[in-house]
Structure 1
Amino acid sequence: MSLRKLISVLFLTLFVSHPALALNIMLTNDDGYQHPWLRTLQSVLAEAGHDVTIVAPQANQSGQSAALTLDALRNSADAITNPAEGVYAVKGSPATAAILGATKVLPQRPDLIISGINEGANIGVFSSFSGTVGATVAALHMAGAPIPAIAISSNLLDAKAEASAPANLQHAKQIAEFMVTLVAALQQSQTDNAPLLPRGIALNVNYPALPQAQIRGAGIYRHGHDIKVYYNQKTPLPAALTTGELEQDTFGLRQGFITIVPIDGDYTAPDWQGLLPASLVPSLNKQP
């Protein structure tokens, strides 16, 4: 599936309801299984006809990136509880919850793993440290064959209130409805029963903290390289240090766009073969 085709479909379907075939979707997050935004996403996806199961950390695990809780992986029976129907709590990190959900909880591998809705944007350099994004990396690399995965995050609409406040719950519902649209667009882009996303690719999606009428659209971006990240607060976005870099998610989100960043969880540097001096390896392999 072409990502260029995906974005064209997204622009056509944004905020428009489309029927979709039922998918087996697993939800996780890094805020804990009781977070109201996670439950909102579960409800909206279920209303759209999908089979939705929550497998999320028992407690808040923000900032854990793709860390693994080895005790939980080795003793999964002791690490997983079932506090409600369709809801499983894991004594471990978001990545651990994603792995155990796909391999131990669900009777069959999910068609899609969605991590979020996270309370707080996960954009730019901050994404590498996000437990929300880390769960999608685990879905790509640690659960056998890659599982299509999407991380979804947003700042609070009412920054002075809790996530459970009416304005923020309405914001979460708005985001969840967009996720239904995104999933439907991905399904429309499928050919020959292919996975929802290219093999080994996940999406890191961020939704502006704006009323729906002020959302300017959706686009595909790269992670921004801004370095001033206010990780001690939920509200501010990273401060831009450069101008004119329209392809960066940090810029797009500030402009009111829903940002979609394709990720692969591979830390190998681009152009890795040409980054180091050609003389380095021969000099290391010289016989004493």
Structure 2
Amino acid sequence: MNKKPIILVTNDDGILAPGIRTLIHIMNSLGDVYVVAPNKSKSGVGHAITMNSILYCDSVKIDNGNQKEWECSGTPVDCVKLAIHNILPKKPDICVSGINHGSNSSINIMYSGTVSAGIEAGIEGIPSVSFSLLDFDWNADFEPSIKYVCKIVKKILYNTISDKIITLNVNIPKLEKDKIKGIKICRQSESKWKESFDKRYTPKGRVYYWLVGDFVNFDQGMDTDEWALNNGYISIVPIQFDFTNYSILNILKSWNLVLFYLLCLNI
């Protein structure tokens, strides 16, 4: 109990992003911190990994903290894999990802490199949490988040949540400290992006495309992450990497019986 927990910190905005620098500062008060993060922004890469190109990971010294840091040419998931298998002296006690610049609530979980880093740690049996602030500004104010980030990480470190591997997805509204009402444990809101590609032209006339879209929330439930965030609360959604839709398993099993019967008739 006297040993400091080993904390792995990563993100998808890049190792120099103010969000991860804030997170590193917070984690230094809680344990022995190792940082393995992308050398540039890898937002929106989801659970991508590097397979067909060279992967670099170099030790760096960015500030005067006690943490040990590496910048990686790969994705957030690459960072977690390298950290666990090649860099850290032992498996970390927790992986903390973020603080992301911008929302990772609802359907955004599917695209987020920040959340995917946490999921990858969960696959390796490591408790993990991903933090996001609903402010895309590079100079976003992370100070109101500090108290809550610290409290949540402590809870994970010193409490067993479940025997099943899960990761927590935490989103923080863009509010002043005294305007945040508290924390809500939520489910993921049902939503999607209504997207299109804006066709544009370079000065030399070459066609290129720019992804644009609007967020559409279909879910009006008061137990969702979107409701919590829109009403001044921090949302926590426990997520898993088992994509099985258990509610329709029996329906599909009945399909198998019908298909087997039809195949037998054709013999």
TM range (shorter): 0.7 to 0.9
The residue aligned with 1:98 is 80
The residue aligned with 2:89 is 107
Matched, 1:226 2:191: yes
Q: Judge conservation of contact 1:148–1:197 (CA < 8 Å) in 2.
A: no
C-alpha separation in 1, matches of 2:188 and 2:223: 8
Matched, 1:70 2:35: no
Q: Judge conservation of contact 1:102–1:109 (CA < 8 Å) in 2.
A: yes
Q: CA 1:257–1:229 in structure 2 vs 1: closer, same or farther (change >3 Å)? A: farther
Q: CA 1:216–1:231 in structure 2 vs 1: closer, same or farther (change >3 Å)? A: farther
- Match for 2:231 among 243, 255, 274? 255
Q: Judge conservation of contact 2:127–2:156 (CA < 8 Å) in 1.
A: no
Unaligned runs of 5+ in 2: 62-66, 198-212
Q: Judge conservation of contact 1:98–1:135 (CA < 8 Å) in 2.
A: yes
C-alpha separation in 1, matches of 2:227 and 2:147: 24
The Cα offsets for residues 205-249 of structure 1, whole Å up to 9 and x where unpaired, read as: 0001101101111011111012247899xxx99454443x01111
C-alpha separation in 2, matches of 1:237 and 1:22: 44
Give the letter for the 2:173 counterpart. P
SS at match of 1:227: strand
Q: Which has the larger radius of gyration?
A: 2
Q: TM-score, normalised by structure 1?
A: 0.76
Q: TM-score, normalised by structure 2?
A: 0.81
Question: Greater relative contact order (Cα 8 A, min sep 6): structure 1 or 2?
Answer: 1
- Give 1:1-288 correspondences, 5 Å limit: 22-46=4-28, 48-71=29-52, 79-84=56-61, 86-141=68-123, 143=124, 146-156=125-135, 162-164=137-139, 168=140, 171-190=141-160, 198-228=163-193, 238-243=215-220, 245-276=221-252, 278-284=254-260, 286-287=263-264, 288=267
Greater fraction strand: 2
Q: Percent identity?
A: 26
Q: Judge conservation of contact 1:223–1:248 (CA < 8 Å) in 2.
A: yes
State the shift of 1:282 in Å: 4.5
C-alpha separation in 2, matches of 1:125 and 1:100: 27
